Amino acid sequence: MGEQAEQWAPQYCDYHMHSTASDGSLSPAALMQAAWQAGLREVALTDHDTLNGIDEASDAANALGLRLIPGMEFSCTWKGFTLHVVALWPQGLTSEAHTLAESQRQARWARAAQIVQRLIKCRCPVSLEEATAEAGGEVPGRPHFARVMVRKGFVKNTGTAFRKVLGSGKPGDVKRHWPDMEEAIGSLKSAGALTALAHPFSYKLTRSKRIRLVTAFAEAGGDAVEIVNGWQQPSQIQSIQRTCQELGLKMSWGSDFHSPGPGWRLGGFSTVPDDVDPLSQCWKVASGIVA
């Protein structure tokens, strides 16, 4: 492998990370600096349902010589449960992308307002203003509400907040009516995005239902599956890789980084198999980065 190709090897590329534009702890600029210091050479900023951090991240990445792929982790539903699609715009953002992001952002504001009402009923009142301040002025999500709950003494830590109040199925968990997966993929592709099903093993599915999900994703026009998301078992990687190969899907990977800490680092993910058909090849060939 030549020197140019070597720098684009999977271990130097992280296509899933978050900043303070959603629920990460580093600003977009600080995130790019940390990514560069971690040895990464190509990254995607994929905040939840927003593109607000892209401009700041782009300026920082350009100054460093770091290649940034604009992205977003898009919320949608399949058979009644919420899932995420990583949308990437390697050729640059479109006006349609911004329109989609704003629609999702407004849906998140509505969800945050509903969480406020749920927490009042749970006798853990957190105002929208408090949660928004915790989110640095961006749309607050459950992690921001959890941190305010800790600060106000309602719970001992954020883990308890999720376990008792904010976690899936708990009183403070608001199930937003996101677009269904087929609609979401159609909208994202019309907006010029490449799409990857995020962290397929994070959903509480049986093996057969997971295969049905990936199959439905492929049939809806999805491009790839995130076969590596942080640290996971080799057997899981092999299983999802085999499903992708059978369905003709490409593959992606990333750390899903949110905050520095034990078990979570930029570029921190299980080894990507040598024989993957990477989603990133789509834009690297088009850009002349690799043959």
Tens digit of pLDDT for each residue in 54-74?
999 999 999 999 999 999 999
Tens digit of pLDDT for each residue in 151-185?
999 999 999 999 999 998 899 988 777 899 999 99
Tens digit of pLDDT for each residue in 188-222?
999 999 999 999 999 989 999 999 999 999 999 99
Locate 29 and state its tokens: 């600029």
Residue 114: is its pLDDT beyond 70?
A: yes
**Dihedral sign from CA coordinates of 102, 106, 108, 109:** positive
**Residue 8: per-residue pLDDT:** 62
* Superfamily in which the 3-103+176-286 domain is placed by CATH: Metal-dependent hydrolases (3.20.20.140)
Please tell us whether the domain made up of 106-166 is placed in CATH 1.10.150: yes
Q: Which residues pair with 228 in a beta bridge?
A: 253
Q: How far apart are CA 227 and CA 245, in angstroms?
A: 11
Q: How far apart are CA 112 and CA 245, in angstroms?
A: 39
* pTM of this structure: 0.88
Domain boundaries of the chain, sorted by first residue: 3-103+176-286, 106-166
Task: Please name the amino acid found at residue 98.
Answer: H
DSSP 243-274: HHHHHT-EEEEE--B-SSBTTB-TT--PPPPT
The pLDDT mean for the chain works out to: 92
**Residue 51: per-residue pLDDT:** 97
Q: Sorting pLDDT into bands at 50, 70 and 90, what band is 2?
A: very low
Half-sphere exposure of 260 (CA within 13 A, CB side): 7
Cβ atoms of 52 and 24 within 8 Å: the answer is no
Give the mean pLDDT of 90-113.
95
Q: How far apart are CA 33 and CA 13, in angstroms?
A: 14
If one compares 118 and 263, the residue with the highest pLDDT of the two is 118
Residue 115: is its pLDDT beyond 50?
A: yes
**Residue 81: per-residue pLDDT:** 87
If one compares 249 and 268, the residue with the highest pLDDT of the two is 249
Examine domains 3-103+176-286 and 106-166 and report if their fold is the same. no
If one compares 228 and 284, the residue with the highest pLDDT of the two is 228
Residue 148: is its pLDDT beyond 90?
A: yes
**Residue 177: per-residue pLDDT:** 74
211-225 burial by CB neighbour count: b if 16+ within 10 A, else e? Answer: bebbebbbebebbbb
Residue 130: is its pLDDT beyond 60?
A: yes
**Residue 287: per-residue pLDDT:** 55
How far is residue 285 CA from its own chain's centroid? 24
Backbone angles phi, psi at 136, to 5 degrees: 70, 30
* pLDDT-above-90 percentage for the chain: 79
Q: Sorting pLDDT into bands at 50, 70 and 90, what band is 1?
A: very low
